[in-house]
A and B are shown apart, each in its own frame.
Chain A
Amino acid sequence: MQSSSASLSYDYSVAKLFTYTMVIFGIIGMLVGVLLAFQMAWPAFNLTGILGDYGEFVAFGRLRPLHTNGIIYGFMLSGIWAAWYYISQRVLKISFNEYPFLKALGYIHFWLYVLILALAVVTLFAGLTQNKEYIELIWPIDLLIVVLWVVWGLHMWGAIGVRREKSLYISLWYFIATFLAIAMLYITNNLQIPTIVSGYGSIFNSVSMYSGTNDGLIQWWWGHNAVAFVFTSAVIALVYYFMPKEAGAPVYSYKLSLYSFWSLMFVYLWAGGHHLIYSTVPDWMQTMGSVFSVVLILPSWGTAINFLLTLRGQWHQVTTNPIIKMLILASVFYMFSTLEGPIQSIKSVNALAHFTDWIVGHVHDGVLGWVCFSVMAATYHMVPRMYGRKLYSAKLIDIQFWIQTTGIVLYFTSMWIAGITQGLMWRAVDDYGNLLYSFISTVEALHPYYIIRGVGGALYFVGFLIFVWNVIKSITSGDKVEKEPVAATPISAN
C-alpha cells in the first residue's frame, strides 16, 4: 500500500462528459416540468388548439414521463456518475490514467448512456411506454439499461479491485448500495413478456409478469426505492465526500455514519408499502409500510446530523463559502423531507394526502432542495479541480441560491395547501352526510395554487440557468488555478 496520492494525476475525461449531460438534461427536464406546471394552471398550455392532432406530443400525459425520466435518469444519474468518476479515483487512491481498461469502460458507459437517453426521449414522445411510474421505457431499452448497469458495475468493481486505499470510504458504501439495490429492483420490476412471442403485433409491446395487486406491490417496492437508491443513497455518497472536503473538516462521526448506513439499508425497502395504504394489498403489509416509514426517520436524520455536525467549528464558512451554504440547505431539506414522508405514511394522514398534490409537493421539496442542491454544490466543487480554473463568480452562486430557495418555498407551500384543501374537500359532507363538493369544484379550488407552483418552478429553473452560466463561464474563462487548494473551493474575486 503506497499513499502517494499527491503524485497521481487524476483523469477527469469521463467525469466531464457526464457533467455535460447533467447540465443538458437538467435544463430539458426542468423546462418540461415548468411547462407541465402551467398546463395544470391553464390547460391551453397543452397547445392542442394550435397543434391539433400533433398536440399529442406536448399533452400532459406524454410529457409527464419525459419530465420524471429526464430528471431522475437524465439529470440525476449524470450528476451521480460525474461524481463517481471524480470521487472514486480520489478515495481509492488510483488514477484512471494508470488503467486503460477502466478508462475504456468509462467511455463505453458514457456513450451507451447517451444512446439510451436518446432512445428514451424518442420513444416517450412517441407514446411507447410500459406505463409503470419511473420505469416507463419499453423492453428493448430495458435490456440496454441492464447492460449499462453491468458496465458501471464492472467499472466500480474494477476500480475497487485495483485500489491502493485498503478501507472503503463511506461514499463508496453508498455507491455500492445504489448499484446493488437498483439492479435487484429494476430487474424484478421489469420482468415482462414481449407480446411478439405470439407472432403478431408490435415488437415494442409487452405485458408485465405480475398482474393487478401483485404488479402494484412490485411496482411500489421499486418505485419508492428509485427514490431511495437514486435520490437518496447516491446523493448521500456525494455529500459525504463533498461536505468534509469543502469544509476542510473530517466527517463528524464514523460510528454515526456506520449506524445510519446499515439501518437505512435495512429499513428502506420496507417503506415501499406506504404507497399502497388503503389499496387492495394485505393490511399487514400496509401497516409494515407505515411503521417502517416512521422508523426511517432515524437513519435519515442520523445521516443529516452527521453532515451538519461536520461543520462544527466551521460555521463561519456559511458567510464566505456559498457552496457550504448550498450543502447545508440540502442537508436541512433532507431532514425536512424525511420527516414529511413518514408523516404522510401515517394511515390517517395518508387517507387525506394520498392522490393529492401534497405528495407532489413532498417529492419536489426533496428533489429540488436536497437532490438538486447537492448535485449543484458537487459540480461547483468539482469544476475548478477538473478544469484547473477558479469558479467564475461567487456572487452568482449567492444570487442563484436565493432565487432557487424562494422557488422551492413557493413550490412546497402552494402544494401543501393545494393537497390538504383537495383532501378535505373530497371528504367534506353536509349535515345530512351527503358529499358537499362535486369533483370539479375541488379542481377549481386549486387554480391559484397551481399558478404559484408554476411561478416557483420557473424561479427554480431561472436559478438553474444561472448555475449553468456560471459553470460554462468557469470552464471557459475562469482564472487559472496553479495548485489545487486543500480545503475551500477556489472562487474568483468577481
Chain B
Amino acid sequence: MFHWLEKHPFFFAVFLFLTIAFAGLVEIIPGFAQASRPIVGLEPYTILQLAGKNVYLKENCNACHSQLIRPFKSETDRYGHFSLSGEFAYDRPFTWGSKRTGPDLARVGNYRTTDWHEGHMKDPQGVVNGSIMPPYPWLFNKIADIDTAYAEALTVKLVFNTPYSPDQLPDNDLASAKRIALTEARAIVDNMKDPAVKAAYERGEVSEIVALIAYLNSRQ
C-alpha cells in the first residue's frame, strides 16, 4: 500500500492529511463548547480594561509573566486560588504565557496597588531590588487607544454575544464610550503621581499606563 501511495502523490497527500488531522479532531472538538462557559459573576472587560489588555499584549508582558495558577499548594500559597477555565471566557487571546521570568499575574489585582504598579513600571529595581524587568517610561507619555478598545468590545458583543450592558457599552456612540472610560480612569489617576499622566487626563485623554493598571487591577 505504501509503495502504491508513493507513486500516487494525490492519494498520498489525502491519506497523510487525514493521519495528521485525526489527533486535532479528537482532542479539540469534544470539550470545546463546555470550556468557553464563564464562571458565575464574571464580567466582560470594560473598555478601559480592554485598552489596558491591548497595552499588555503590545508590550508582550506575557513573554515573562504567566496568568495561570496551577493547582499546587506552592502556587496557591504564592498567588491565590488556582485558575478555573471559566475565568478566561472573555480572554481573546488567552494570556497564560509559557514562561515565568517574573511572577504570575493572574490575581495580581488582589495584592498590588495602583501606586505600586506606577513605581514599578517606572523603576522596577527601585521597587523590587534585584528585578530584571526593564522600566517602561513610554507608557506614561503615550495615550491609550480607547477607540480600538471600543471597537473590540463592540465586535465581541456583536459576534460572540459577550454580555455587555448598555451602560457599559453604548452602541455606535464613541463619545459616550470615551466618557465612561474616563470616569473609570479617574480613580486610578487620582492614585498616581506622574504629572504627565495627570496632565493628559485633564486634556481628556488616558495614558497607556492608566489603562494597563486598570487591566492589572481587574485580574483577581
Cα–Cα, bound, A435→B93 (Å):
32
* Residues of B contacting A292 in the complex (Cβ-Cβ under 8 angstroms): 23
Cα–Cα, bound, A127→B60 (Å):
8
| Structural contact, A198 and B154, CB atoms closer than 8 A | yes
Nearest opposing residue in chain B for A422, CB measure = B100
Cα–Cα, bound, A210→B44 (Å):
15
Interface SS of A by simple majority = helix
Cα–Cα, bound, A184→B150 (Å):
32
Taking the nearest CB of chain A, how far is it from the CB of B102, in angstroms?
Answer: 7
Interface SS of B by simple majority = helix
110-135 of chain B: CB within 8 A of chain A: 124-125, 128-135
Given that A219-B93, A443-B102 are known contacts, is A262 also in contact with B19, CB under 8 Å in the complex?
yes
* Residues of A contacting B219 in the complex (Cβ-Cβ under 8 angstroms): none
Nearest opposing residue in chain A for B75, CB measure = A426
| Structural contact, B19 and A213, CB atoms closer than 8 A | no
| Structural contact, A280 and B137, CB atoms closer than 8 A | no
* Residues of A contacting B93 in the complex (Cβ-Cβ under 8 angstroms): 130-132, 207-208, 210, 215, 219
Nearest opposing residue in chain B for A36, CB measure = B63
B155 within 8 A of A: yes
Taking the nearest CB of chain A, how far is it from the CB of B56, in angstroms?
Answer: 9
Given that A40-B101, A129-B57, A214-B35 are known contacts, is A56 also in contact with B138, CB under 8 Å in the complex?
yes
* Residues of B contacting A59 in the complex (Cβ-Cβ under 8 angstroms): 59, 134, 136
A43 within 8 A of B: yes
95-118 of chain A: CB within 8 A of chain B: none
Given that A193-B159, A221-B24 are known contacts, is A280 also in contact with B72, CB under 8 Å in the complex?
no
Taking the nearest CB of chain A, how far is it from the CB of B62, in angstroms?
Answer: 7
A167 within 8 A of B: yes
34-88 of chain B: CB within 8 A of chain A: 35-36, 54, 57-64, 66, 68, 70-75, 77-78, 83-85, 87-88
| Structural contact, A207 and B155, CB atoms closer than 8 A | yes
A396 within 8 A of B: no
B28, B66, B129, B132 pick with most chain A CB within 10 angstroms:
B132
**0 or 1 for each of B1-41: is its CB under 8 Å from A? (1 = yes):** 01100110100110011011111100110011001100000
| Structural contact, B129 and A440, CB atoms closer than 8 A | yes
Interchain CB contact (< 8 A) of A211 among B75, B129, B145, B160:
B160
B64, B131, B155 pick with most chain A CB within 10 angstroms:
B155
Cα–Cα, bound, A273→B27 (Å):
9
A402 within 8 A of B: no
Nearest opposing residue in chain B for A276, CB measure = B96
| Structural contact, A443 and B130, CB atoms closer than 8 A | yes
| Structural contact, A168 and B88, CB atoms closer than 8 A | no
Interchain CB contact (< 8 A) of A359 among B17, B35, B99, B156:
B99
Instruction: Please give the number of chain A residues whose Cβ is less than 8 angstroms from any Cβ of chain B in the complex.
Output: 98
Interchain CB contact (< 8 A) of A40 among B60, B83, B94, B132:
B132
B184 within 8 A of A: no
| Structural contact, A270 and B149, CB atoms closer than 8 A | no
| Structural contact, A265 and B60, CB atoms closer than 8 A | no
| Structural contact, A211 and B151, CB atoms closer than 8 A | no
Interchain CB contact (< 8 A) of A205 among B96, B137, B138, B152:
B152
B187 within 8 A of A: no
Cα–Cα, bound, A215→B71 (Å):
20
* Residues of A contacting B136 in the complex (Cβ-Cβ under 8 angstroms): 48, 56, 59
| Structural contact, B60 and A64, CB atoms closer than 8 A | yes
* Residues of B contacting A408 in the complex (Cβ-Cβ under 8 angstroms): none
B204 within 8 A of A: no
* Residues of B contacting A268 in the complex (Cβ-Cβ under 8 angstroms): 20, 23
Cα–Cα, bound, A285→B26 (Å):
10
Given that A258-B2, A265-B19, A278-B70 are known contacts, is A195 also in contact with B151, CB under 8 Å in the complex?
yes
Interchain CB contact (< 8 A) of B156 among A56, A207, A288, A435:
A207
Given that A40-B101, A53-B137 are known contacts, is A167 also in contact with B6, CB under 8 Å in the complex?
yes
Nearest opposing residue in chain A for B135, CB measure = A48
Cα–Cα, bound, A71→B96 (Å):
23
**0 or 1 for each of A248-282: is its CB under 8 Å from B? (1 = yes):** 00000000001000100111111011010011111
Instruction: Please give the number of chain B residues whose Cβ is less than 8 angstroms from any Cβ of chain A in the complex.
Output: 89
162-177 of chain A: CB within 8 A of chain B: 166-168, 173, 176-177
Given that A184-B20, A201-B145, A215-B91 are known contacts, is A127 also in contact with B36, CB under 8 Å in the complex?
no
B61, B62, B92, B156 pick with most chain A CB within 10 angstroms:
B92
| Structural contact, B27 and A288, CB atoms closer than 8 A | yes
321-370 of chain A: CB within 8 A of chain B: 351, 354-357, 359-360
* Residues of A contacting B72 in the complex (Cβ-Cβ under 8 angstroms): 278, 351, 427
Cα–Cα, bound, A244→B115 (Å):
64
Cα–Cα, bound, A160→B64 (Å):
45
Interchain CB contact (< 8 A) of B138 among A55, A273, A282:
A55
Given that A131-B57, A205-B152 are known contacts, is A280 also in contact with B83, CB under 8 Å in the complex?
yes
* Residues of A contacting B150 in the complex (Cβ-Cβ under 8 angstroms): 198, 200-201
Taking the nearest CB of chain A, how far is it from the CB of B199, in angstroms?
Answer: 16
Nearest opposing residue in chain A for B130, CB measure = A444
Nearest opposing residue in chain A for B160, CB measure = A211
Taking the nearest CB of chain B, how far is it from the CB of A349, in angstroms?
Answer: 14
| Structural contact, B102 and A285, CB atoms closer than 8 A | no
Taking the nearest CB of chain B, how far is it from the CB of A429, in angstroms?
Answer: 7
A39 within 8 A of B: yes
Taking the nearest CB of chain A, how far is it from the CB of B75, in angstroms?
Answer: 8
* Residues of A contacting B84 in the complex (Cβ-Cβ under 8 angstroms): 280
Cα–Cα, bound, A157→B10 (Å):
9
**0 or 1 for each of A41-66: is its CB under 8 Å from B? (1 = yes):** 10100101000111110011110110
A196 within 8 A of B: yes
Q: With A173-B6, A262-B2, A427-B72 given, can you name 8 additional A-B contacts, CB distance below 8 Å?
A: A40-B132, A133-B98, A201-B147, A201-B149, A207-B155, A211-B91, A280-B35, A443-B132
* 29 pairs, A vs B, C-beta closer than 8 Å: A43-B124, A43-B132, A48-B137, A56-B138, A59-B136, A61-B64, A166-B7, A167-B3, A167-B7, A168-B12, A201-B145, A201-B147, A201-B151, A212-B85, A212-B87, A212-B92, A212-B94, A216-B94, A221-B27, A267-B23, A270-B27, A272-B27, A282-B31, A288-B27, A355-B97, A426-B75, A435-B78, A440-B129, A443-B102
Nearest 10 A-B pairs (CB), nearest first?
Answer: A212-B88, A201-B151, A201-B148, A61-B60, A46-B134, A269-B23, A280-B85, A198-B154, A200-B151, A131-B57
